Every structure is written in structure tokens, then in C-alpha cells.
Amino acid sequence: MTVKLNEQELIPVLSTENNLVSYEEAYKNFKWEDVEKEFSWSKTGKVNIAYEAVDRHVDEGRGDKVALLFRDAIREESYTFTQMKALSNKFGNALRSLGIKKGDRVFVFMPRSPELYVSYIGSVKIGAIVGPLFEAFMEAAVKDRLLDSEAVAIITTPALKSRVPVSELPALKHVILVGAEGELGEKELSFENLMAESSDELDIEWVDLEDGMQLHYTSGSTGKPKGVLHVHNSMIQHLQTGKWVLDLKPGDIYWCCADPGWVTGTVYGMWSPWLNGVTSVVRGGRFSPEDSYQTLEKYKVTVWYWAPTAFRLLMAAGDDLVKKYDLSAVRHILSVGEPLNPEVVRWGMKAFGKRIHDTWWMTETGAQLICNYPSMPIKPGSMGKPIPGVYAAIVDDEGNELPPYRMGNLAIRAPWPSMMRQIWNNRSKYEEYFRLKPWYISGDSAYKDEDGYFWFQGRVDDVINTSGERVGPFEVESKLVEHPAVAEAGVIGKPDPLRGEIIKAFISLRAGYQPSEELIKEIQEFVKKGLAAHAAPREIEFRDKLPKTRSGKIMRRVLKAWELGLPTGDLSTLED
């Protein structure tokens, strides 16, 4: 399909932005190897991303600088790189005292807090592979991930521990509780006690660049969530995209609003700013427009990274609200996770006098790949261009590159430094991404214009993107059919002006059950409690029968066509 364009809108580089004439010019001869020289390991042959992100700043005289500015409803604290080094050393020693070693999987499952970051960095320092979990996950979601990865330890809180089904997790040896009071149960340990007993001097585990570092579970259209493994080598791209795309400078106060349960919250909430020695703001608690502006004002945030859904909510809250706050420190604004509507970019110019820079990447890519740089004109609605050192293309289903304006698979020439190295326990899923050599096939469809800008068109598969969170329809369907009233369920993403997409479920009921408002509420609660609040369908529609293939697979394509009032297309494989 060839795309027809309206006259293109262009927002030029502002005088307040990095005024490189053209990044293509500036980085013409760029090679990733050049970045390696930035790290101490290129001199010593030793590596650990946690050393480069934290300890190195202490060793090079920047230890007094604030690494983390944390605030939630109860606490307000700041931690220097020196303090972060000492605390993460203690935690690393604590894990070692429990016999945890290089390559072991350790999970963090708690609300945003300083302890989360201390645990994360401490685990990586001893060479463990860390998996972060959203605090919103319920038991089934936690269990799937810990079972698949055979995690040996989890760091969590008394409020969340009931969702860790210890007796069903044979590999799990330790449950480390932050803020435990009273008696500890079987396998439970107190974080505070462990910290008190441990030294703040640590023999860091020097690892290979290709050793595992973090494991982010993410959803596909079929099957259980996939464990996407990243290695220490990712630091090359985390550092460099922090410079080019986030435009980080030593004096910046940077705020990435994403939770570490999402890859944006680890890579761009922690690794990228800290590798660049920049102060990172972490705000606990729930989103609100007032609070967002307050946080920007209070900390004099200079660089701000958030998601389209949040910008749409801010836009809906109105321009008068923006005017109540002093946001003059903000220099650079970025967005990730879903298509950034041109309307939001225009609103950003009006409300903040700043361009919102869209960036595209995925859990699997490990870092930003297609971006709007501070130094380039923005075409509202476009994700931007590939960063230097990355070649992106639109290819057909055989892997042939397509010319400008032809829609097709968004593909990246493999490899790049932060590319995933494994899908945990699932070689064939991993290979699917690389089936059309030399390409990595993203699962997104897009086109490219004659200036090399990429334009997102949608997902090729059925993966739902609701408020920037990836939800696999299969996972939700599996939960739904566990409800006693549900015979069959098919789940789709329904376009929504605020959230991008919402989850809609089509359900056929078992004999003896009648559709009702109460039943809808009950089923929604069931998914919320069993899986996660964000995975619960906001809309449920009952149907006597769902469209299925002869092999019994529910045809989400047909459900989607029903929803959008479109022709249902080829139904030749339909059951009856």
C-alpha cells in the first residue's frame, strides 16, 4: 500500500535547543566502537554496567553529586553517587551472603522507592540478572514470570508479598522484605537487617560484555509473556542515546516518569542518566496533572521524558493549569511508547513553548532507535529518524526494502549494541524476530518519507497498547476463561482518544449465565485481581458465538472489524 500525504508540517529547531547544524553531518563517520572508549573497561578489560553508572563517578571525583531525587506522599530524600555506591555495595554483599551469584535471577517487586534502585544496582553489581515487576501485578502475573525465569530471590514489601506464591515456586529461596514488621515467615528476610549486617565495601563482579544484566517480561500476541534478556553491553547505547537524544548535560535535572516495571523506567530512568552522571528524579505515587507540573517546578527539571497518554491527560487538564507553575527550567521534552499525536506536539508548542520529541523503541531493542533529535526539524506525527549507527528500513514480508511512502514492516538491521540477546527459555520466539536476515522485524508497520523520517502505522500483530503499556490479548483471554461464567473470550484493542487503545473483550457465556451489568463488573474485577488492573477489559460485549478458525483459534481480526464496523474480509478459514 502506498501512503498519500497531506502537505507536511515542519517545526524547526528552536534557538534554545542543541544547535548542531545537522546530526547526520556531525555523526557521519560514527561507529559504536568509538563509544567504548568512554568506559573504564576499555582500559582494563573489566566491565559491569553498575560500576560505570554509579561507582565510576565516585572514583572520578563526582561522588557528591546527587544521583537520585526521590519523593512520594511520605518521603522526600536525595542520594549522592557516593551514597548509592555504599548502599548498593551493602545490598550486593547481602545477596552474596545468601549464596546468590552471577547469572542468578533476582526480581524486584515494589513501588518506586530508593530501596528499589539500591536493590537493582546491588544485584547487577554481583552479576545477577535482575527482573523488575510492576507493583500492579497480581499473583498469576508474578508467578508466570518467576517460574519461567526460575528466580532465586525476590525483593518486595509486606503489602505485596501475598501475591508471591512461594510454595508454587520451587526455585525461589529468598523473599526479602522492605519494611517488614513482626515475625518473618518461611524464606523471608528483612531488607533492613540484611543491610545493617553487610559491609559497604564490595568486590564487584567483573563480567563479560555479553553476560546477562536485566530481564524484562513483555507481551506478545500469543502465549505467555516473554522474558527479554539484555546484557551489560547495552551500556554503550544507553550512554550515547542519553547524550544525543535526551540531550543530557552534567548540570541537568532529568525526570523520566516511567516505572521501572517498564523498560523505559530502567533504561531511561536509571541507566542512561546515571551513565551520563546526571541527577534522576523519581516520583512515587499516582499520576496527576497538578503533581506533574509541581514536580517539574519543584526540582527545576530540565529534561522531561514521558508518554503520549500522559501528555494527552495534561492537554485535557487545560492550559490555565500550566500557567500556574514556573516551568522555565524545562529545556527538552521527549515522549515514548505510543504514537504521539500531531495535535499533542502542537499543544506542547503552545503550552510549554517547547517541542515534544517523539522516540521509538521497544523492550526488545533495549534502547532508542528512531528519534527526533534536538538538532532536527520535527514533523509532527513522525517518530523521527534512526540514530547514527542504526539502519532502519521498511521491508515487505520477504525482507525486501521498500521505497519511500510504501507501508510495510518496520525493520532494523541487526545487530546494535543494546539489542536483546535472548528470549528466556524460548529460542524459537527469539529467532522469529530475526527470520528475515539481516533484519530484526519489529512487529510494527510504518512507512518512510523521502527525507528519511519514519511514520508509525500500527502493530502487525494483535498486541494492544493501552496508555503505553503493552498487553498481550492471549494473557487476558486466558484469565477471562478461568471465570466460571465465561465459555470463550476474544480480546482486542479498541481505538481510544485518551489511552490510544482500550482493552475490549468479546465473551460468550456458559449455559446458565445471562449477560448483565453486574456480571461485567464481576468479570472486570476478576481480571484486575488475577492479572493486573491495566489488563482488565474496560469494555465487555457478550455474543452467542465468537468467530473461530477451523483449528479453533479465535479470530481477533474479525472481532476488530465488528468493532470498527468494517468489512470482515476473508472468512474462508472460519469455523462455520
Q: Please state the closest distance from residue 225 (CB atom) to ligand WTA, in A.
A: 11
Helix locations, 245-288, DSSP H: 263-266, 272-275
Neighbours of 430 (CB within 10 A): 18
Residue placing its CB nearer to ligand WTA in the complex, 80 or 264:
264
If the CB atoms of residues 122 and 381 are measured against ligand WTA, the closer one turns out to be 381
- We find the least distance from the C-beta atom of residue 286 to ligand WTA, in angstroms, to be 20
- CB-nearer residue toward ligand WTA: 366 or 547: 366
Tell which residue, 167, 164, 175, has the closest CA to residue 137: 164
Which residue do the cell numbers 555495595 mark? 89
Handedness of CA 507, 508, 513, 515 (dihedral sign): positive
Closest by CA to 70, choosing from 255, 246, 251, 302, is 255
Q: Minimal distance in Å, beta carbon 267 to ligand WTA?
A: 8
Q: Which is nearer to ligand WTA, 89 or 241 (CB)?
A: 241
| H/E stretch holding 488 | strand 486-496
- Residue 462 CB, shortest distance to ligand WTA, in Å, is 12
Least distance from ligand WTA to the Cβ atom of residue 493, Å: 11
CB of 101 to ligand WTA, least distance (A): 29
Nearest to 260 by CA among 113, 424, 128, 420: 113
In what helix (H) or strand (E) does residue 36 lie, and over which residues does it extend? Answer: helix 32-36
Kindly state the smallest distance separating residue 535's Cβ from ligand WTA, in Å: 14
Closest to ligand WTA by CB, 358 vs 488, is 358
Q: Which is nearer to ligand WTA, 245 or 486 (CB)?
A: 245
**Shortest distance, position 447 Cβ to ligand WTA, whole Å:** 13
114-125 helix and 81-97 helix, angle to the nearest 10 degrees: 60
Q: Which residue has the closest beta carbon to ligand WTA?
A: 363
Residue 85 burial (CB count, 10 A): 26
CB of 268 to ligand WTA, least distance (A): 9
Q: What span, in angstroms and rounded, lies between the C-alpha atoms of 179 and 267?
A: 26
Smaller CB distance to ligand WTA: residue 354 or 459? Answer: 459
> Between residues 92 and 472, which has the closer beta carbon with respect to ligand WTA?
472
Nearest distance, CB of residue 263 and ligand WTA, angstroms:
6
- Alpha-carbon span 374 to 247, nearest angstrom: 7
Is the Cβ of residue 31 or residue 435 nearer to ligand WTA in the bound state? 435
Is residue 95 within 8 Å of residue 106, measured between CB atoms?
yes
- The three cell numbers of residue 6 are 497531506
* Helix boundaries (H) for 165-251: 191-197, 235-244
140 vs 369, which CB is nearer to ligand WTA?
Answer: 369
Residue 254 C-beta: closest distance to ligand WTA, Å? 17
Q: Indicate if the alpha-carbon torsion angle 365, 369, 374, 379 is positive or negative.
A: negative
Q: Grid coordinates standing for 181?
A: 514488621
Smallest separation (angstroms) from ligand WTA to the CB of 303: 17
CA distances from 196 to 77, 95, 181 (A): 19, 13, 16
Q: Is 101 left (phi over 0), alpha (psi -120 to 50) or beta?
A: beta
Q: Which parts of this chain interact with ligand WTA (CB under 6 A)?
A: 218, 263-264, 336-339, 358-363, 383, 442-444, 456, 459, 465, 470
- The answer to whether 142 and 109 are in contact (CB under 8 A) is yes
Calculate the alpha carbon distances from 166 to 90, 91, 161, 200 in Å.
25, 22, 9, 30
Q: What are phi and psi of 162, to 5 degrees?
A: -65, -15
Do 142 and 162 form a contact (C-beta atoms < 8 A)? no
Q: In the complex with ligand WTA, which residue's Cβ is closer, 83 or 445?
A: 445
Nearer to ligand WTA, 53 or 362 (CB): 362
